[in-house]
Amino acid sequence: MSATPRLQGVFSPVLTPFSRDHAPDAERFLRHCRWLLEQDVGLAIFGTNSEANSLTVGEKRRLLDGLLEAGVPADRMMPGTGSCALPEAIELTRRATEAGCAGVLMLPPFYYKGVSDEGLFRYFASVIEGVANERLRIYLYHIPPVSQVPITRDLVARLLDRYPGVIAGMKDSSGDWNSTKAMLEAFGPRGFNVFAGSETYLLATLRGGGGGCITATGNVNPGPIVQLFKTWQAPDADAQQSRLDATRAVFAKFPMIPAMKAAIAWKTGREDWVHVRPPLVDLDAAQRKALQEGLDAAGFEMPKAQMLA
């Protein structure tokens, strides 16, 4: 295992732009990635907020390859590669690892409920053995409110014992600080790199020794979130955290993905940003108006939005 610097910072599950007929728009995707990098946000492409599970593995491969061909640095990417179907997870994880991605973010298989830790261990072990690349770095994706399949501490311990180094860390989207804290305390001393699942717990996670956050709202509010990451030991850190929370709260009044897309459409004037794939539904006119009023009241800005237009 080669020694690599510990991954830190703010990552965002990059929104996937669609055309009116629900096809991924590779060109807008690339521009959005460049805008995020410009603001020091890493690219957790194919996350929950990317509608990744609404994409086929072929669509994901083409989007990833498009970024690589355009020169987007792989070491700033952490693609989501989990899938209910083991061969798909192996295929996409292998591709990301060979391309030099900083890591992959892996959902557990999420169709069956009540599966055992033994079954999940076998799943992750099968991916690791299938990819068979010592550069592989897996960040486990714990998001029980959506997946309904948790990553337990017993499972993390067992995976760390068997695959130290490869099991690199976690995104904790449980929404429960006690969960994140317990992961930090249990596995941080072993180099396990915990990212908060939103900026809500960014400051607490950094104070607890974690790596940063992987957050949906990084797609629309990157500047202030990155600012807190860079200055978390400054006297105004708690005040910064409060301002982040206030902006996030505006988005959280609406379905998050359509709301972020509507905000980008608003700030860029590009109406095609609103499209989502079913089963998601774009905001209606009244929702969009309420969102804009809320964001205006919170002093929300999207600097350099012209890069996205």
Residue nearer to a second copy on the CB measure, 6 or 122 = 122
Residue nearer to a second copy on the CB measure, 58 or 303 = 58
- CB of 4 vs a second copy, minimal distance in Å: 28
Residue nearer to a second copy on the CB measure, 6 or 22 = 22
Residue nearer to a second copy on the CB measure, 39 or 147 = 147
d(CA 269, CA 118): 50
Record the tokens describing residue 138, joined without a space.
Answer: 């897996």
Residue 163: Cβ within 10 Å count: 16
d(CA 243, CA 239): 6
d(CA 221, CA 49): 14
CB 262 within 8 A of CB 274: yes
Chain positions contacting a second copy, by CB under 8 A: 22, 48, 53-57, 59, 84-88, 108-113, 115-116, 118-120, 122-123, 125-126, 145-149, 277-281
- CB of 124 vs a second copy, minimal distance in Å: 8
Q: Got the DSSP string for 16-71? A: --B-TTS-B-HHHHHHHHHHHHHTTEEE--SSGGGTGGGS-HHHHHHHHHHHHHTT
Residue nearer to a second copy on the CB measure, 124 or 232 = 124
- CB of 24 vs a second copy, minimal distance in Å: 10
Rounded to the nearest angstrom, the gap between the alpha carbon of residue 276 and the centroid of all alpha carbons in its chain is 17
- CB of 6 vs a second copy, minimal distance in Å: 30
- CB of 121 vs a second copy, minimal distance in Å: 8
Record the tokens describing residue 59, joined without a space.
Answer: 């669509």
Residue nearer to a second copy on the CB measure, 11 or 123 = 123
Residue nearer to a second copy on the CB measure, 232 or 251 = 251
**What is the four-CA torsion angle of 46, 217, 286, 255, rounded to 10 degrees?**
50
- CB of 144 vs a second copy, minimal distance in Å: 10
Record the tokens describing residue 282, joined without a space.
Answer: 């774009």
d(CA 281, CA 51): 12
- CB of 153 vs a second copy, minimal distance in Å: 18
Q: What letters, b where the CB count within 10 A reaches 16 and e where it falls short, cover 112-123?
A: eeeeebeebeeb
